[in-house]
Amino acid sequence: MLFLRNSLTILLPLPAWVLASDFRVKESTEPPRGWTRLAEAPSAHTISLRIALPQADFAELERRIYQVSDPGHELYGQHLSKEQVEALVSPRPTSLEAVNAWLKDHGFEEKDFDRSAAKDWVNINVPVALAEKMLGTKYHTWRHDESGDRLVRTTSYSLPAHLHEHIELIQPTTMFARWSAMKTTIHWPELVEDSSPSFAGSASGNRLAIKVASTDVDPSCNQTITISCLKQLYKIGDYVPKSPRKTSIGITGYLEEFANLADLQSFYNDQVKPAVNSSFKFVSVKGGLNNQTLSEAGAEANLDVQFAFGLSFPIPGTFWSTAGRPPFIPDLTTPTNTNEPYLDWVDFVLRQKEVPHSISTSYGEPEQTVPRKYAERVCHELAQLAARGVSLMYSSGDGGVGDGSEDPADHLCFTNDGKNTHRFMPTFPATCPFVTAVGGTNDVPETAVFFSGGGFSDYFKRPFYQDRAVGKFLENTPSDLYQGLYNRAGRGFPDVAAQGRRFRIWWRGRAVSIGGTSASAPVFAAIVALLNDVRVSKGLPPLGFLNPLLYLIGPLGFNDITQGNNPGCGTPGFNATVGWDPITGLGTPDFSKLKALVSGH
């Protein structure tokens, strides 16, 4: 490298990354549908680069996950510790050294890094001009045509050739997922004022009593879903947790969604009187706020907290509020998180020694809007929690097999790869094979709700635990049905289901009716929390990663849902059938049966 000083030419050593090789493309993508490129990104704008280093032995971690999650294995329930997980995913020393040297060449010191607990992620705040130099690229401001949201992104970036084996991916670069409008999978048309006096269990009108599996269910439950309805429908009855302080349940919150305490007390007074005056643990992630102004209460957060914590009371609950969302504001030069905030939550939770045993998330995004490498890496992060004995529930989505549109010309039902292929839209992170995806039902007796997200992943192959159940569904499904619209070899979702319409919650001081698989996931998470109590009260470990167990017991613990379909992308979607189907999975839970099944291992 040549520098001129006082008319003298001084020869300085070239940085190692320059000597090693020229830049080579690491990742590229087609300009996404629905986005318009505007101007070059301001050079002084600061972005938060997240650099992923290859995990040394993820294959071994995956093997261990399935050992401790298989009821037939001698290691069942022997979940890994935080330290054991980190030892398996920590990058190799050569990768750490190579990335450290590269960052040092660009002026960064150790004090500038924010590393994950396992050191497999490095986060740095970088001006756009320097990021462009480091990545051999050009950033632009992009506008989402429909919403007006703006992001700073590029469609391609490069790295010195010798770094390719030491860096798995870097974001934000090519990811155009609209986490800024991350669908809460809440079915907003259901949001109507509920003027009924109370639905704590009393019948209303002259409707006939309903029988489900020989258990009377209050007729009001066909109009409004309450805690009492769920206890009747899923045979929880009067079960009271025996060791509530030995297990736990958690709810994630994003996009300035706050769970309002006043609304929670109104809900408890309405439906769970023993819980009145109780609360939950609030945890802020990356500066997540907790605005308790009643007029700013979040419907999503209220729904999740009220039903998850109300159904599992008195098991302790935790609510995380994670900050960070676009749109990008061009005149800001302070660090702006134009990553999706979801990974911030994962990173935070993985750093904790103790994590709630059952966690529900009601957020998702079309799989194709997330780069494959990024989706795979996020799934690997979730696998670390699974290995530690955490059950992760995710809403399957509210768009049926696509975006909920019956118009085949809808742009959301076409691929983003430049080919514009008509395609069903699976939902991420529900498609990750290390989580339990929860679809929706409605009515009593239960049928599949029309908006229940479901289908097959384009990114993740079918895991072995699904081979029998999903294989049987595909055997009974003509291969030419929707040919080319979905991946028959992909991970099928959802895994299970629960009620997803007409939930009576309290929101901003009033009772309203609301729906979506946003309701289904926290309900199932609450039932898992109760099952964990069954186990820990007998000296057994919590259930942890659920899917191998769920697919093993199948109809022994679930109510099979055989009616309904999930239209989208100009098609009627899939049909609910006997056995697993890509609308309601294995069906809805029968707590009385599940309780017996999980209490002896």
CA dist list (Å): 488 to 445, 485, 535, 586 = 30, 9, 36, 18
Annotated ligand binding at 218? The verdict is: no
Which of the residues 218, 257, 270, 300 is marked catalytic? 300
DSSP one-letter code for 271: H
Alpha-carbon distance 67 to 74, whole Å?
Answer: 8
Is the CB of residue 380 less than 8 Å from the CB of residue 429?
Answer: no
The Cβ of residue 270 has, within 10 Å, a number of other Cβ atoms equal to 21
Which value, to the nearest 10 degrees, does the dihedral of the CA atoms of residues 292, 295, 298, 304 take? 70
In 177-235, which ranges are E strands? 192-193, 210-212, 215-217
Whether 304 is a known active-site residue: answer yes
Write out the two tokens for 494: 């959802």
Whether 518 is a known active-site residue: answer yes
Which of the residues 304, 340, 367, 381 is marked catalytic? 304
Q: Phi, psi at residue 192, to the nearest 5°?
A: -130, 150
Annotated ligand binding at 579? The verdict is: yes
Alpha-carbon distance 84 to 353, whole Å?
Answer: 12
Annotated ligand binding at 324? The verdict is: no
Which value, to the nearest 10 degrees, does the dihedral of the CA atoms of residues 79, 83, 89, 91 take? -170
Q: Phi, psi at residue 354, to the nearest 5°?
A: -115, 130
3-state secondary structure of 139: coil
Report which of 446, 452, 473, 468 is spatially closest to residue 561, judged by C-alpha positions.
446
Annotated ligand binding at 344? The verdict is: no
Is the CB of residue 524 less than 8 Å from the CB of residue 409?
Answer: no
Alpha-carbon distance 406 to 328, whole Å?
Answer: 33
Report which of 433, 545, 428, 437 is spatially closest to residue 489, judged by C-alpha positions.
433
Whether 216 is a known active-site residue: answer no
Which of the residues 158, 248, 391, 518 is marked catalytic? 518
Would you name the residues annotated as active-site residues? 300, 304, 518
**Binding-site positions for Ca(2+):** 560-561, 579, 581
